[in-house]
Structure 1
Amino acid sequence: MGAGPLDIGGGHLTQREMFTRMLTSRPLPADVIVDPHTLGGVPVLEISIDDVTPNGTLLWFHGGFYVLGSPRTSAALAADVARRTGARVISVDYRLAPEHPYPAALDDALAAYVALLDAAGAAGGGFSRSEGRGAACAVVGESAGAGLAVALLIAARDQGLPMPAAGVLFSPYADLTLSGPSMTTKTAVDPSFTPEAIAVRARDYVGAADASDPLISPAFADLRGLPSLLIQAGSHELLLDDAVRLAARAATDDVPVTLDVTPGVPHLFQAFAPILGEGDAALRRVTEFLARRLASEAARAPRIGG
């Protein structure tokens, strides 16, 4: 992407349009059902596979450095994961910077999560705020969306809300101070981004806040009490050390965590799973992880009438 017309550090409106055009140019498979609605007052896109009864819910957060993207730009990857796991995806259309800097995205994520808890509890799914426990739900995020997913988990924990069964983090953007060594050591092999471009977008999101705030940069957060995490990254990306340090922080804080680094591949290589063997293999590992975690949490949930 770095050599093409998309320059994530350029004018945000122009780049937002190019990003959207690039990632939505191919139609989704005919059996993918896309249903826009709202959750907790926040626009969402529900993605499911025709004739598949969902066995869980993935609350999904798209990438784009908090400035670009939407649920539609990540719908192809979300649909692939939905197909593999048998879960439905609810992809959150959180507000974007610089028009809406921190904490707008986090506020939207939290509102959607609380509404999901309440809706599932009302349906008798054993997933409710009042009971303080979750069920067959996981959070999934890509890049900035992965950082947002972790921030959501931290905020939910601090508010005493129940945790989901798991979190899956694709190439997390978890340090907006941009202090990870890979920001400089991987510049020659990252085909997508430059540190300078990422710095522009980081300023857009941080605004007047402190970039080291743990809810902006979860690499610096106390992660105790979070659910099991699967963190995936490619070795050829500037954000590699965001993933590595986030995993180390989780391990230090007694969070069950798996760090899964694939050598020789770039940022969000999983999106190329239909043509890239490493991407397909990574998503198989995601599917296995989610199957274990969702089944385990579902088994713990109270049975209706039991």
Structure 2
Amino acid sequence: MSLFEDLNTDPAETEVIRITADERAREAALRERFASFWKSASGEPRVIYDAFIAATPLATEVTLDAVEEDGVRGWWVRPTHAHPAQAILYIHGGGYGLGSARAYRGFVSQIVSRTQVPALAIDYPLAPEASLPAAPVAALTAWRWLVNQRCNQIAVVGDSAGGGLTLVTLAELGRRTVGPAPIAGVVFSPWADLAFTGASMTDSAVTDPLITHDYLQDCARKYLGNVGPTDPLASPLFGEFRGLPPLLIQVGTDERLLDDARQFAKRAAQAGVRVRCEVWEGMHHVFQLDVAHLESSRAALDRTARFLRGAFNA
């Protein structure tokens, strides 16, 4: 069975997923909560960001174990029962300058509980203290660590900047001829284009409640270092598509990164990649985090789990 058959659509096409009036009301209320949080937040930006992300509740029946060995730092998030050869490598977002594996444990647990596949959420060097290629090197190091743990079925999942780094990692792995190949990739609101060619970056009709064009430009400057914005290590939109595994991309209509997702999906499909792009109406950046508030968040993660289970069971 195709990994995409249970999603009931052509994998080369983009599906717009509509929401109900009640869900619109819940989304509006959540945006008020966002505005209140960011207005009242004070202190070090990384601490504030982690507090925002860590609000995603921890799923039941998962265990958390810190990892720090062989150049890999992060957290194992594991279900009670799991196949020992299967794993998810999770790469967090935060504009390449914020975020931590610890803060993302709750969100990753929501994926783990739905898939019953353990996930390694990793830390990678953040900008401006580190710039390219430090983050891709860390992701590949984590991949090798999982392989050394005898995981031979591995999917890579990430959000926002971590979604971009996920696509970079998959492209780098696709060029290899030894070792297990990634079985699938999932990206939530991926930042795939640090050259800012997408129209949604400056489209006045796009109302992004969380990130701005100026913020992303500042993040890009700090992360790129001496690397050009169209270098595939920075912007997977300009990289190699052949060799990529089946992909699921989810993005909201109300975010600056909308066209990053759509452009990447289009180019991947043209290159023959099995790619599925879901555009969720009225949803904000990485809305999947908000499982406590939105039916759309829970539904999107349920779809993600079906896709990933299909990949692991293929």
Tell me whether the two structures share a fold, i.e. TM-score over 0.5: yes
Pairwise CA RMSD: 2.1
Q: Which amino acid aligns with 1:250?
A: A
Deviation of 1:6 (Å): 4.4
1: CA distance, partners of 2:275 / 2:311 = 12
Distance 1:54 1:249, change over 3 A: same
SS in 2 for 1:177: coil
Deviations 1:107-134 (A, max 9, x none): 00011111212321xxxx6x2xxxxxxx
Name the structure 2 match of 1:204: 222
Deviation of 1:190 (Å): 0.6
Deviation of 1:26 (Å): 6.8
Q: Tell me, yes or no, if the aligned pair for 1:222 and 1:253 is still in contact at 8 Å.
A: no
Question: Are 1:160 and 2:190 an aligned pair?
Answer: no
2: CA distance, partners of 1:150 / 1:218 = 6
Q: Which amino acid aligns with 1:262?
A: W
Deviation of 1:21 (Å): 2.4
Identity rate, percent: 37
Name the structure 2 match of 1:244: 262
Q: Any gaps of 5 or more consecutive residues in structure 2? A: 1-30
2: CA distance, partners of 1:39 / 1:211 = 32
Deviation of 1:29 (Å): 4.7
1:17-166 matches, within 5 Å, as: 17-24=47-54, 28-29=58-59, 31-38=61-68, 40-49=70-79, 51-54=80-83, 56-120=86-150, 127=152, 135=153, 137-161=154-178, 162-166=180-184
1: CA distance, partners of 2:121 / 2:190 = 17
Question: Are 1:218 and 2:236 an aligned pair?
Answer: yes
Name the structure 2 match of 1:269: 287
SS in 1 for 2:202: helix
Distance 1:181 1:5, change over 3 A: same
Deviation of 1:24 (Å): 2.6
Structure scoring higher RCO (CA < 8 A, sep ≥ 6) equals 2
Name the structure 1 match of 2:5: none
1: CA distance, partners of 2:217 / 2:67 = 33
Given the two structures, how large is their TM-score scaled by the length of structure 1?
0.85
Given the two structures, how large is their TM-score scaled by the length of structure 2?
0.83
Deviation of 1:44 (Å): 1.8
Deviations 1:216-250 (A, max 9, x none): 10011121011000000001110000000111111
2: CA distance, partners of 1:228 / 1:36 = 30
SS in 2 for 1:245: helix
